[in-house]
Amino acid sequence: MAPMKEQSWTVDSMPDLSGRRFVVTGANSGIGLETTRNLFRRGALVVMACRNNEKAEAARSELLSAGGSGELQVRRLDLSSLESVRQFSHDLLDVGAPIDVLMNNAGVMAVDAGRTIDGFEIQFGTNHLGHFALTGLLLPLIGGVDGGRIVTVSSIAHRSGPRSIRRWRAAR
């Protein structure tokens, strides 16, 4: 069998996304903002699910001034609060529009020790449990044009785990 040719994909390779609906958590900064920017440029309706409405509105204004053919909606979502997750989900369920892609992107990292309002360790509660609950509650809407997608963003921080454990053991 002949070797496959390496293909280079860029955001310019994205098709027109008019009529597609995306929900992006943490859409006001980092990977979420860049994802939202490119989806908006390609015509998608993007629900910007963010903890801080002020920062989300500032990001939305920046994106609108840069131009795009899509639509941007800001909705408050605090993944460290299961009540906020329920409220956000119920609001989208009330609208009833299908979601083509749910992008679970938001997260906290290297935060001080603490607990969510529901009593979970803050990083686990926000990054894992909040997205798990959100995904479960939104499942009835995930379908869209091609059957829908759920994308969960992670990091390579897990790669430092074994080294960190070895250092910890050596220090004892």
pLDDT tens by residue, 111-139? 889 999 999 999 999 999 999 999 999 99
* Best-predicted range by mean pLDDT (5-19, 83-97, 107-121, 146-160): 83-97
Q: Cβ of 16: how many Cβ atoms within 10 Å?
A: 10
- Two tokens, residue 119: 């009593």
Q: Tell me: pLDDT of 27 over 70.
A: yes
Question: Exposed (0-12), middle (13-18) or buried (19+): which is 139, by Cβ within 10 Å?
Answer: middle
Condensed to tens digits (0 to 9), the pLDDT of residues 68-77 reads 999 999 999 9
Q: Which carries the bigger pLDDT value, residue 89 or residue 158?
A: 89
| Helices and strands, counts by H and E, the chain | 6, 5
Residue 168: predicted pLDDT: 55
CATH number for the region 16-171 comes to: 3.40.50.720
Per domain, the residue ranges of the chain are 16-171
Do residues 75 and 88 touch, judged by C-beta distance below 8 A? yes
Instruction: Kindly give, in sequence order, each residue whose CB lies less than 8 Å from that of residue 159, ignoring residues fewer than 6 positions away.
Output: none
Single out the residue of 57, 84, 51 nearest to residue 72, CA to CA: 57
Distance CA 66, CA 62 (A): 6
**β-pair partners for 149:** 101
Q: Tell me: pLDDT of 1 over 70.
A: no
Single out the residue of 100, 128, 27 nearest to residue 92, CA to CA: 100
